Amino acid sequence: MEDKITIALPKGKLGNEALELLAKIGLPVEGLVTESRTLLFDYPEAGIRYIICRPTDIPTYVEHGAADLGIVGKDTIVEAGADIFELVDLKFGKCRFVVALPEATLNKYSKQGKFDLRVLNKGRVATKFPKVAEDFFASQGIQVEVIKLHGNIELAPRVGLSEMIVDIVSTGRTLRENGLVAVQNIFEATARLIANRVSYRMKYARLNEISGKLRQILAQEGVNNA
Amino acid sequence: MNKFSTRLQTVNGVKDILPKEAFEKRKLEASLVELFRKWGYQEVQPPTIEYYDVVAENDNSIDELFKFIDREGRILALRPDFTTPIARLVAANFKGETLPLRLFYTGNVFRFESTQTGRQREFSQAGVELIGAKGVGADAEVIALAIEAMLACSLKDFKIGIGQVMVTKGLLEEFSQEPADIQTIKQAIITKDFVGLENILLNQKWDGKPRKELLGLATLHGSIEVLSKARKLSNNDGFLQAIEELEQVYDILESYGLSKYIFFDFSILRDFEYYTGIVFEGYTPDLGYPVCGGGRYDNLLSRFGLEKPAVGFALGQERVMLAQKSFSCPPKIDYLVTGGDTKTLLKKAKELRAQGYSAIVDFDGSSAVQVKDNINEVLFVQGGKS
């Protein structure tokens, strides 16, 4: 008997891109929408069940084994610090973590066009990702006070809540519109296929088949795009 | 909110165990103890508190220990597992004794983990340590006993995954890199971070072969046939010997009649610094965490001045209870003795207990109504003045 597997998908744009990819490897996705009141989609014939949840909750569902697989951004994985297996880089949903600060601050502290982050030692950082921010500044030997916000981080330096921010950027437009400049890349993030560590071993055949197919499709697309 | 509301709370990460769960837990523990004894293991009970230096991990400032200071200013810690305290216990008490020693334990351990992960900070373990025995026979005995323990817990459909840290260590050594890089690679293998692993190996500019080997190793998974696949990955002596030993362990487990429960997976490394050979974990479907785990740790006892090999495993009792599908109920009390005068009642209850029944005495004539559904039979005793 084939193992029944549960896949956790994020709501919204990331989820839709994930669905496209899953359809390409032949998994059932008819009638599946990530923005609806329905949170559970069952395809008994295929032995697949999807659960739709908030991106930040996906590592939790997978870590506890409520879902065998999940698709979620690397940014969320790092912030969650969950004990999961990261199987495939799905290449979509690309964004990067940056340290950004107001242009005025940058100009004030730049010497010969160079800016050293250490001038902001003991500064305040507003972010939605306190773990990423703390880990990064600790690795640089810079002490900061991290202020956790839940959205519109760009606002914080403008109203004097913090000197700088740590946030994810895809195009950089929001930063520019708020007079902020990215001064340091922390890391790049893309969507990943993650697996529960017990499922990966107990349902190895099916999980390996899915991750293998995904890798194959992505390699093909990589060649086509090149 | 009444004024007692904070007094009624338990500390974060610990909980009260109520009769139903306590009954289940005691039953589980009893069946494990019985099993361990049948295999010739003897019980030891190290203390709950140890000196910090005993249980502290080397070079690990961020540990998960519950620490406190005694009145003389020494740092103490609650035991985070049994293996290290038992290593100390053996070095202190069994130096020069005939080996191997077969020891078992059950009890609570304490880890200051983030409670978000769904793990409690106080939990119960049962396990064994086979000390002073090296080789595949000892490895196989402990794995066989772990399988028997899972069976004794009435778990079904479980699997034991076996890895070998020397296999991975051998490969890593062969392409000896900076210690920091090795640490990152190990971390990537442990978390099955294929994406990260690929990136690290690409950055290493290792061309072709070694990169493929490490990636190949991390993806190997399956029964005995993966060992022959693994064999082709390297000519390193340590590596080949480790593979050979795994094959022997498999053969022995086949003789035990238990080989159907196992598979091989080289990404099972557990704590890389601590283990020196075979490692294994037990999994059940529908539970997101391993139920048991163990392996060979030949360097631990030397920390306490005794150069002896050792292998063991521990099983998480709470996790077993989560994995068990059926719950039994604590049995009802056989008799409620009521009706007669106190002397008669006590005498009757004593008789019943001597015959092996459980009995409670209705000492003020009120219990019969209150607790009836917990009692199998209400026994009216004649005699005395009532």
Q: Do B193 and A201 touch (CB under 8 A)?
A: no
Burial class (CB in 10 A: 0-12, 13-18, 19+), B52: middle
Based on the fold, state whether residues A179 and A196 are members of the same structural domain. no
Averaged pLDDT, A65-72? 94
* B75-99 per-position pLDDT tens digit: 999 999 999 999 999 999 998 888 8
Confidence of residue B1 (pLDDT cuts 50, 70, 90): low
Residue-wise DSSP of chain A: -PPPEEEEEESHHHHHHHHHHHHHTT---TT--SSSS--EEEEGGGTEEEEEE-GGGHHHHHHTTSSSEEEEEHHHHHHHT---EEEEE---S-EEEEEEEEHHHHHHH-BTTB--GGGGTTEEEEES-HHHHHHHHHHTT--EEEEE-SS-TTHHHHTTS-SEEEEEESSSHHHHHTTEEEEEEEEEE-EEEEE-HHHHHHTHHHHHHHHHHHHHHHHHHHHHH-
Residue A177 sits in the same domain as residue A198 = no
The string of pLDDT tens digits covering residues A96-132 is 999 999 988 888 888 877 888 888 888 899 999 999 9
Q: Given an 8 Å threshold on Cβ–Cβ distance, is B193 in contact with A200?
A: no
User: Is the CB of A199 inside 8 Å of chain B's CB atoms?
Assistant: yes
Q: Which of A82-96, B55-69, B220-234 has the highest mean pLDDT?
A: A82-96
Average pLDDT over residues B111-137: 86
Please give the average per-residue pLDDT across B2-26, as a whole number: 86
Out of B192, B285, B290, closest to residue A85 by CB: B192
Assess whether pLDDT exceeds 80 at residue B64.
yes
For the cut 70, the answer to whether the pLDDT of residue B212 exceeds it is no
Burial A90-123 (b: 16+ CB within 10 A, else e): bebbebbbbbbbbeebbeebeeeeebebeebeeb
Instruction: Please state, in angstroms and as integers, the Cα–Cα distance from residue B348 to each residue in B331, B356, B369, B373, following that order.
Output: 21, 13, 20, 21
Residue B207 has a pLDDT of 53
B386 confidence band (pLDDT: 50, 70, 90): very low
Identify whether residues A60 and A138 lie together within a single domain. no
- CA-nearest residue to A212 within chain B is B219
Q: Token pair for residue A19?
A: 């669905």
Residue B385 confidence (pLDDT): 46
A50 DSSP β-pair partners: A7, A41
pLDDT at B280 over 50: yes
Across the range B308-332, mean pLDDT stands at: 88
Say whether residue B283 is in contact with chain A using an 8 A CB cutoff.
Answer: yes
pLDDT in tens, A166-215: 998 888 888 899 899 999 999 888 999 999 989 988 898 899 899 999 99
- Asked whether the beta carbons of residue B161 and residue A87 sit closer than 8 angstroms, the reply is no
Mean pLDDT value of segment A31-56: 89
For residue B286, the chain A residues in CB contact (below 8 A) are: 65
Query: Is A76 part of any domain?
Result: yes
Contacts 24+ apart (CB under 8 A), B361-370: B361/B336, B361/B337, B362/B336, B362/B337, B362/B338, B365/B338, B367/B336, B367/B338, B368/B336, B368/B338
Rounded Cα distance, B343 and B348, in Å: 9
Q: Which domain holds residue A30?
A: 5-93+190-220
Helix (H) or strand (E) holding B378: strand B375-380
Q: Is the pLDDT of residue B62 over 80?
A: no
pLDDT surpasses 80 at B60? no
Phi, psi for A70 (deg, rounded to 5): -150, 155
The reply to whether residue B289 touches residue A65, judged by beta carbons under 8 angstroms, is yes
pLDDT value, residue B59: 55
Q: Which residues contact B28 (CB under 8 A, 6 or more apart)?
A: B153, B317, B320, B321
Q: Report the number of distinct structural domains present in chain A.
A: 2
In a domain, residue A226? The reply is: no
Q: Are residues A47 and A76 in the same domain?
A: yes
Instruction: Identify from B150, B195, B287 which residue to disrupt to test chain A contact, counting A C-beta atoms within 10 A and taking the largest count.
Output: B195
Residue A35: phi and psi, rounded to 5, are -110, 80
Percent of chain B with pLDDT over 90: 49
Mean pLDDT throughout B9-22?
Answer: 88
- Element housing B163 (H / E): strand B159-164
Do A100 and A26 share a domain, yes or no? no
Query: What was the pLDDT predicted at A226?
Result: 52
**Residue A221 pLDDT greater than 90, yes or no:** no
- Phi first, then psi: give them for residue A85, nearest 5 degrees: -95, 135
ipTM, interface predicted TM-score of the complex: 0.77
Regarding whether A170 and A201 lie in a shared domain, the answer is no
Q: What is the per-residue pLDDT for B159?
A: 94
Q: Same domain for A154 and A194?
A: no
Say if A179 falls within a structural domain.
yes
What is the crossing angle of helices B209-219 and B179-190, to 10°? 30
- The average confidence (pLDDT) of chain B is 86
Predicted local distance difference test score (pLDDT) of residue A1: 47
B192, B221, B266: best to mutate for the A interface, most A CBs within 10 A: B192
Domains of chain B: 19-158+284-324 (3.30.930.10), 333-380 (3.40.50)
**Rounded to whole angstroms, how far apart are CA atoms B57 and B52?**
9
**Residue A39 exposure: Cα atoms within 13 Å on the Cβ side:** 3
CB B68 within 8 A of CB B55: no
Burial string for B95-134 (b: 16+ CB within 10 Å, else e) reads eeeeebbbbbbbbebbbbeeeeeebbbbbbbbbbbbbbbe
Residue B308 clears pLDDT 80, i.e. is over it: yes
More confident position, B370 or A127: A127
- Mean pLDDT value across chain A: 89
- Please tell me whether residues A104 and A174 are part of one structural domain: yes
Is A225 part of any domain? no
Residue A15 within a domain = yes
Interatomic CA distance for residues A132 and B244, integer angstroms = 43
CATH number of the domain bearing residue A31 = 3.40.190.10
Residues A87 and A107 in one domain: no
Which pLDDT band, with edges at 50, 70 and 90, does B177 fall under? low
Residues A16 and A82 in one domain: yes
**Together in a domain, A121 and A155:** yes
**Residue B384: its pLDDT value, please?**
52
Highest mean pLDDT among A34-38, A171-175, B120-124, B352-356: B352-356
Higher pLDDT, B54 or B7: B54
Residues A85 and A140 in one domain: no
Question: Which of A63, A74, A88 comes nearest B288 by C-beta?
Answer: A63
- Residue A125: what pLDDT? 95
User: pLDDT category, B373, cuts 50, 70, 90?
Assistant: confident
| Across A138-145, average pLDDT | 90
Q: Are B95 and B306 in contact (CB under 8 A)?
A: yes
pLDDT computed for residue A32 by the predictor: 83
A174 within some domain: yes
Q: Which pLDDT does position B152 carry in this prediction? A: 95
